[in-house]
Structure 1
């Protein structure tokens, strides 16, 4: 059964507007990633503002060079925006340790392997299988669907931010927007829900001449202002 597109989304897609870049807190990220030279080098050369395209480029460059930690951090800088808690939360993910003691805990190699494998699964087998992996056998402590879908998006948007094969982001803001507009109530921690979400984006994309990731980006903007 097809779902009607809410009018604000129709209007946003018709504008074909790109995301506005936003600033980030360089010093806070440097403090959180003090012990990883490759990430510090990336943080030094990142511009004052980030957007989907600049983030996509950096993530793919770092990942292709085998530098998984800076690739992940770049995706999370965009993902957390100006919330303030991003650096600490990302440290929790990379070390598996929650709280202040995470700052002295080492970055775990198994976490980096799971991030690498998640990107590979999503590229080779599609967004749903990438989600399934990262939500089950590849699950990483302190990394839920709201943020691992951001990782999957940037690592699969190989041919641009509107790559038709890119894994769309599904976070609490996107799910909330869909619920508030009486479209669908989605769990962001369930693979079948992500599959339904992707099916919805494909349908709306076909009706509007957009890729699923473009529909997601429009919803994300309407939900967050970014």
Structure 2
């Protein structure tokens, strides 16, 4: 097993720190979601700066209402933060169309909803690794890669709390880059085997400190921001 990097051990040994909130542009999202008034209404209830707790609450609330698209968009708002291309990329995912054509294309409500709902069922019933494989298999959504579908899996599975032990940890490019540079661990985000390796690492590193996978993942992400 890859040794625990010293800088990460220092963070895990300290008191947990709540992850900072991310700003986002309501106007930009409203523009790209021009034909989804129900989803825009959901976003209208979000604070100007969204943290994991606020996003989780909104995602789970919408899933309880069976409003899968609204729940997914909330997760993506948090995931993309204030990057300017987030709303348009999510539009691509919802329509299956890339570029300017996606703005005029119809949202594939039934198809996308079924796949995203399927991911919720798999991650809750069979766990993170199975859900990861599903999202790269029969649940694949065009233009939705692992960096962002793991954000969806996280919020869908964080039923017992923001740091729940059974929540699926996020694996984005910043975490992948840190693991390569700081731990010498080279992961292939397009391979479920790499995600399983990632889960094993988080378990091994977090165990001695009583930290969940998600808490270790957040600690790594904060190191990349620092």
Q: TM-score, normalised by structure 2?
A: 0.96
Counterpart contact for 2:3–2:183, Cα < 8 Å: no
Deviation per residue, 1:99-129 (Å, 9 max, x gap): 0110111111211110110111011000000
CA RMSD of aligned residues (A): 1.0
Query: Shift of residue 135 of structure 1?
Result: 0.8
Counterpart in 2 of 1:125?
126
Superposition map of 1:2-151 within 5 A: 2-13=1-12, 14-108=14-108, 109-151=110-152
Q: Does 2:161 correspond to 1:160?
A: yes
For 2:30 and 2:183, locate their aligned partners in 1 and report how far apart those are by CA, in whole Å. Answer: 41
Runs of 4+ in 1 over 4 A off after TM superposition: none
Conserved? CA contact 1:4–1:183, under 8 Å = no
Tell whether the 8 Å contact from 1:166 to 1:213 is kept in structure 2 after alignment.
Answer: yes
In the alignment, the residues of structure 2 paired with residue 40 and residue 33 of structure 1 have an alpha-carbon distance, to the nearest angstrom, of: 7
Distance 1:155 1:8 in 2: 30
| Residues 4 and 183, structure 2, Cα contact 8 Å, conserved in 1 | no
Q: Distance in 2 between matches of 1:193 and 1:9?
A: 20
Deviation readout 1:121-171 (Å, 9 max, x if unpaired):
011000000000001111111001010000000100001111100000011
* Per-residue Cα deviation, 1:204-226 (whole angstroms, up to 9, x for no partner): 1112210111101111121235x
Query: What is the SS of the residue equivalent to 2:71?
Result: helix
Give CA-to-partner distance per residue, 1:31-84, whole Å, 9 cap, x none.
Answer: 011111221101211111100111111111011111111111110011111111
Structure 2, unmatched stretches of 5+, are none
Note if contact 1:38-1:67 (Cα within 8 Å) is conserved in structure 2: no
Show the counterpart of 1:175: 176
Unpaired stretches in structure 1, ≥5 consecutive residues: none
CA distance in 1, matches of 2:222, 2:44: 28
